[in-house]
Amino acid sequence: MDEVEARKTIVATLEGKKGKSKFYLKDFYAMFPEEKPRTIKNIVNKMVGEGTLEYWSSGSTTLIGLKGVGKQAGAEHED
């Protein structure tokens, strides 16, 4: 799979979702039904490392979204 294309698909899909900024890994797998979950997981985690995506953890589960997007981003004004 072309990783560059995959990144574009991920960003475009997330940008297209209205009213929701955080997603389960499963939602990323669904964007690439032909690919192994492990491959997608690795790309998603790489995109976090590059600063495109960020994690949001409830402590028990982890969600992933575009960095800085969403209603809770910066809600606590700690910066």
Partner 1 sequence: MAFISSGYDPNEPMKNRITDIGPRHYEDFYPPVIAKNKGKWLYHEILEPGVLVHVAESGDEVYTVRVGGARLMSVTHIREICDIADKYCGGHVRWTTRNNIEFMVDSKDKVAPLKADLASRKFDGGSFKFPIGGTGAGITNIVHTQGWIHCHTPATDASGPVKACMDELFADFQSMRMPAQVRVSLACCLNMCGAVHCSDIAILGYHRKPPMLDHEYLDKMCEIPLAIAACPTAAIKPAKVEINGQKLNTVSINNSRCMFCGNCYTMCPALPLADKEGDGIVIMAGGKVSNRISAPKFSKVVVAFLPNEPPRWPSTTDTIKKIVEAYAAGANKYERLGEWAERIGWERFFERCDLPFTHHLIDDFRDPAYFTWRQTTQFKF
Partner 2 sequence: MAKHETPMLDQLESGPWPSFVSDIKQEIAHRKANPNNVELQIPAEVPEDILGVLELSFKHGRTHWKHGGIVGVFGYGGGVIGRYCDQPEMFPGVAHFHTIRVNQPAGKFYSTEFLRKLCDLWEFRGSGITNMHGSTGDIVFLGTHTKQLEEIFFELTHNLNQDLGGSGSNLRTPSDCIGQARCEYACYDTQALCHALTNEYQDELHRPAFPYKFKFKFDGCPNCCVASIARADMSFVGTWRDDIKIDQEAVKAYIGGEIAPNAGAHSGRDWGPFDIQKEVIGLCPTGCMWMEGDKLMIDNRECTRCMHCINVMPRALRIGDDRGLSILVGAKAPILDGAQMGSLLVPFIKAEDPYDEIKEVIEKVWDWWMEEGKNRERLGELIKRQGFQRLLEMTEIEPTPQHVKEPRSNPYIFWKEEEVEGGWQRDVNKFREDHKR
Where do contacts with partner 2 occur on this chain (CB under 8 A)?
Answer: 24-26, 37-38, 41, 45, 48-49, 54-64, 72-73, 76, 78-79
Residues forming the site for partner 1 (CB under 8 A)? 19-22, 49, 58-60, 63, 70-72, 75
- How far apart are CB 78 and partner 2 at their closest, in Å? 5
CB of 57 to partner 2, least distance (A): 4
Would you say 38 and 29 are in contact if contact means Cβ atoms under 8 Å apart? no
Rounded Cα distance between 37 and 70, Å, is 25
- Residue of 37, 34, 36, 43 lying closest to 6 (CA atoms): 43
